Amino acid sequence: MKLEALHIPRVLRGFESAAAEVFDVRIEGAHVADIVASPVQRARGMLISAPVDAHVHIDKAFSVREVGAANGDLFTAIDRTARHRAQWRAEEIEQRMERAVREAWRCGTRAMRTHLDWPDAEPPVALQCFERVRERWHGRVTLQFVALTPLDVFADARAARRIAAAVRQAGGVLGAFVYRNEGIVHKLGHVFDLAQEFGLALDFHVDEGLDADATGLRAIAQLALARGLARPITCGHACSLSVQDAVQARDTLRLCAEAGIALVALPTTNLYLQGAWDETPLPRGITRIREAAAAGLRACLATDNVQDAFYPYGSHDLLQVFGLGVQMAHLAPATDWLDAITVSPARALELDWSGHIAPGCPADLVRLAAADEHDLLHAGGLQRTVIRDGRPLRQDEQQVEQYEETAT
């Protein structure tokens, strides 16, 4: 198969391109065979590597009609979800997960990392549901999970060890919700101890609010530098960084870059949850993406919540999330930031392929109608052909079903 006259954004090129901006790409089997400068001067579309969604919640996706929207209050959303989660049956959890992964697949996503609510020592029902979904989607979408546990639970050494052992057995990532906890460094130290002992990667929900005194991200970076873990550390949200003193925030980001921490910004959920609801919310709730890049840390953009108490709208189309992130954080030119949904999350998830497009790379690609950054956020520009294993998905495979409005 040959793809002609396509722009490949510079941040996604894994090949020497000289002055060329328009390319012809030849695919043989499941890999890219060759990339050459096109004789056509004007691009007819854009080629990107298949996106990677570094932070989602497919255990609670599409539950908003049952749970209700929290209207911008993070802890109301947490409480409501906890009450309803106790009543959820495995069948409905698995159906929601299946719908989420299928939606992402049809939009072009090749890998997803979902956080599973894990409030105590016992593995949640959602873990078994996830394992079944992961098995069904093996070879199409790479699925990872994180145990999302309140940090205070790790103060109970016995419970913490049971969680870590279960996570390792299921092939997951150890995580925690970190926000202005008492004795935060001591409790985080327990999490790092477990990660070292069980050989686990770490993924934190951290500083998800607009309190300048929330400094969990800095504590994690300092511990990471002191411990030198073998596996990656990912930190999502870090909203408080946006309201801290600029010098303090930049120093925290310098530490994160030095420690090799992956930073994940969640535009939809944090725009919805952060800031006032009785007036126009002026803070945007997004972390300092541009300052992170200046420090050498290329952040990820990810979907987070979809149609649940935390964010009652949206879908698992990562390109739409990217468009919102571009506007919220003034990421221009937009094409220069496409690594935020491809290369950066691939590194955070330790995937085999970096997402750079080059001869020999997997032909897991998305061809967009947009030829440049100005059409990239346009509905017409987002029309796409998803290519997996060198084969375009059929139209019926790409068409996302229209779901009936149901309580499930």
> Where does residue 246 rank: exposed (0-12), middle (13-18), buried (19+ CB within 10 A)?
exposed
CA distance readout (Å), 212 to 126, 215, 242: 34, 8, 8
CA distances, 242 to each of 77, 225, 235, 254, 299 (Å): 22, 23, 15, 15, 14
The three-state secondary structure class of 387 is strand
Which sign, positive or negative, has the C-alpha torsion 97, 102, 107, 109? Answer: positive
> How many alpha carbons fall within 13 Å on the CB side of residue 79?
5
Q: Which of 94, 103, 208, 291 is catalytic?
A: 208
Helix axes 318-329, 90-107, angle to 10 degrees: 70
d(CA 39, CA 31): 23
The full 3-state SS of 354-382, as one line of letters, equals CCCECCCCECCEEEECCCCHHHHCCCCCC
208 an active-site residue?
yes
Active site (catalytic) residues:
208
